Each structure stands twice: as structure tokens, then as C-alpha cells.
Chains A and B, each alone.
Chain A
């Protein structure tokens, strides 16, 4: 069975500092991995995805994520956080089977302080 875990309910970081939002997954075979962001009263917005290839994936708004197969992780990172990055971040995973569904994590609230 597929699953995804976001171990931190909230991450606090000062503006200008690097940020990391953690995600680990479990799936049979190779995964498709995604990060989404949700601002208040809005739907989720796609940030980036890993399908195959380079383990470091670059996405929107300066975010990037590193796929680590041995640790089954896909942590979201940004070198320098902005106050405007404050939002709810979701990791999602899907297996490669035709019947596999996209499973979302429980979300991590990122708070960037000025």
C-alpha cells in the first residue's frame, strides 16, 4: 500500500534562512512524487515533481526537492525563505501501477518570520 508521511506539523524559519520541509514515502516500485502549496482559502498549487532522472528537482518560486531512494525521502528545500512562503505544504506520492492513486500527506505549515 502507498503512504506518505510529513513528520512535522509546523516548521518555523526566519526570513533569509534556508528551509526544509520533510517528506517520506512508501510505495511498491518506483514512485512519482509531488509537492503542492496551499495558501489560505485557496486550492492546492503544484510546485514540483519527481518522475525520473536527476535526484534534485527544481520547481516554482525558487523551491527544490531532493529525491533520496535509499531513505525513501523527498524533502522540500529553499535556500532563502521569504515571508510570502508562509503557507501549508503537501507532499504527495503515486505508484506506477495503473490503479495507483495520488496520496497526499497531512501537510506541514511553514511559518516564515520577518
Chain B
């Protein structure tokens, strides 16, 4: 079990550029979550998918953010255009079932927007 794999680990970009974060969940897991972690706001749920279908995107900050899950083994979180306030660590997590199943987190992508 390779765990949840996120890429890149670090991303530095200039304001206005498009940023794409990638996630490969654990095989067999049917839920996928995108979280953002900052010192000011802690850990925020952005969006989650069940069987590749977005279920709740109420945490997505604004229209600049979008997420897709084209198949069970891949998801992307895109920010276009990026802004300095988007700087944070973005985590992807997956679980088998949701209600009482623990989440398995990737090691995150540290995004810096200058």
C-alpha cells in the first residue's frame, strides 16, 4: 500500500498563474477529500467526492478553485488565477466508506503564490 500520493510536494508560482495539484488515492477507497491547511484558518475541507462524483463543494473558496475526479485513481485541484492568499498546504485524503472510516492523508502540496 503506497498510501495517498500527492504531487508536486512544493509549488511556487506567480500571482495570476494557473496551478494544478494532483492526487492519487489509495486503491479501493471510494471517498476522496481535498483539505487546505493554514496557520490562520487551520484545516478546511474544500470538496469531497464519492465514487468520483463531487458531493459537497461548499468549502471551495470561490470560482477560481475547481476540482475534478475523472476516475477512481486520480483527482486534481486547480486554481486559476492564483493569488497570494491561496498560499497554504493542500492535502488530499481518501477513505473506504465515510461514516466511521479513518481518512488516509497524503503528505500535501505546499503552495506559495508570490
Cβ of A101 within 8 Å of any chain B Cβ, yes or no, is: yes
What number of A-B contacts does a CB cutoff of 8 Å give?
Answer: 44
Q: Pick from B42, B99, B102, B108: contact of A43, CB below 8 A.
A: B108
Cβ of B91 within 8 Å of any chain A Cβ, yes or no, is: yes
A32 contacts B100, C-beta separation under 8 Å: yes
Q: In whole angstroms, what is the CA distance A90 to B45 when docked?
A: 14
Q: Pick from B43, B56, B105, B107: contact of A41, CB below 8 A.
A: B107
Cβ of B93 within 8 Å of any chain A Cβ, yes or no, is: yes
Contacts of B91 in A (CB 8 A): 43-44
Contacts of A51 in B (CB 8 A): 100
A45 contacts B56, C-beta separation under 8 Å: no
Also in contact, A43 and B4, with CB within 8 A (given A49-B102, A104-B42): yes
Q: Pick from B48, B56, B102, B107: contact of A42, CB below 8 A.
A: B107
- Within 61-94 of B, Cβ neighbours of A (below 8 Å) are at 91, 93
Contacts of B53 in A (CB 8 A): none
B103 contacts A44, C-beta separation under 8 Å: yes
Contacts of B25 in A (CB 8 A): none
Q: Pick from A102, A105, A107: contact of B45, CB below 8 A.
A: A102
Closest to A106 in B: B42
B93 contacts A43, C-beta separation under 8 Å: yes
Q: In whole angstroms, what is the CA distance A101 to B98 when docked?
A: 9
Also in contact, A102 and B42, with CB within 8 A (given A43-B91, A43-B93): no
A-B pairs with lowest CB-CB distance, top 5 = A43-B105, A46-B102, A104-B43, A44-B105, A106-B42
- Give 7 A-B contacts (CB < 8 Å), ordered by A residue: A32-B100, A36-B103, A44-B43, A46-B103, A94-B100, A101-B56, A105-B42
